[in-house]
Each structure stands twice: as structure tokens, then as C-alpha cells.
């Protein structure tokens, strides 16, 4: 909210946040949604997504399962961190040329990680895709 309003006061916002896909868009014109927002953190969701895409390309991976907790890591980065990372990763998958098949599994729905791994992933992701 603050990042959107500051453009009307011509005041820049320096932030270690701004890690999601939306902040990758242009911020140089007054009409841009986040005009004047400057990210000063060394790592962000976009660079993490690019790294994952580089691994996918190097190893020719075309299938991806994302296990997440919507409010995971809230004590570190605030609420919704995992959800925001997931959204950024999905946007990055959409932008690559190789067809990426992906799905997300919400781990808050079950407490049994072993069961989730067996039922949601099993051996389907342990071999080359056909």
C-alpha cells in the first residue's frame, strides 16, 4: 500500500522487501504501479525462481511439485511468505519456453510429511519424464 501511494509525493521507498513478481515490473514512470520503489536486498523471490529454472534447464526437468505452507516462515518474513514465493515461482514457470508441468501441495492440510511425500510425489518424480 505504501509503495503505491508514495509516487504521489515523489518520495522513493527503499526496501529489503519487494520480493515478489509484481516488483519486477517497470518502476521508472510515474504511471507505474510501484514507481519509486527501490529494492536493496541481495536476494529475492525472483532470483530464487531464476535459480530453480536454471536447475530445471540444466537437468531437463519438466515436472515440478511444490510443497508449501501458506504462512510458513512467518516468523522470519511475515505472513504469506511461502504463498508469495509460490506465486513468484509459478509466474517464472509461465515465462520459460520449455513446457513445465507443476502443481502445488498445501502442507497445512496434513501434518504427516511422510504421508504427503508418499501420496503426492511417490515415485512419479524419481524417473525421467516421457
Domain ranges of the chain: 1-42, 59-125
In 3D, which of 88, 124, 86 has the Cα closest to residue 105?
A: 86
Going by pLDDT thresholds of 50, 70 and 90, the confidence category of residue 130 is very low
Q: Which three cell numbers stand for residue 75?
A: 516468523
| Mean pLDDT, all residues of the chain | 75
Provide the grid cell at 44: 529475492
pTM to 2 decimals?
0.57
Q: Which of 7-11, 54-58, 95-99 is predicted with the least confidence, judged by mean pLDDT?
A: 7-11
Whole-number percent of the chain with pLDDT over 90: 0
The pLDDT tens digits of the residues spanning 98-114 come to: 678 888 888 887 777 78
Closest CA to 20 of 67, 41, 12, 99: 41
- Locate 110 and state its grid cell: 496434513
* E strand residue ranges, the chain: 13-15, 37-39, 63-68, 101-106
Amino acid at each position: 500500500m505504501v509503495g503505491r501511494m508514495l509516487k504521489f509525493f515523489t518520495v522513493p521507498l527503499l526496501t529489503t522487501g519487494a520480493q515478489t513478481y509484481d516488483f519486477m515490473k517497470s518502476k521508472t514512470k510515474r504511471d507505474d504501479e510501484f514507481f519509486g520503489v527501490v529494492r536493496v536486498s541481495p536476494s529475492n523471490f525472483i532470483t530464487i525462481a531464476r535459480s530453480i529454472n536454471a536447475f530445471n534447464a540444466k537437468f531437463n526437468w519438466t515436472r515440478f511439485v511444490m510443497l508449501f505452507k501458506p504462512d510458513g516462515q512467518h516468523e522470519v518474513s511475515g505472513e504469506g511468505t511461502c504463498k508469495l514465493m509460490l506465486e513468484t515461482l509459478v509466474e517464472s514457470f509461465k515465462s520459460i519456453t520449455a513446457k513445465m508441468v507443476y502443481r502445488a501441495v498445501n502442507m497445512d492440510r496434513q501434518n504427516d510429511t511422510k504421508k504427503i511425500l508418499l501420496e503426492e510425489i511417490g515415485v512419479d518424480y524419481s524417473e525421467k519424464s516421457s
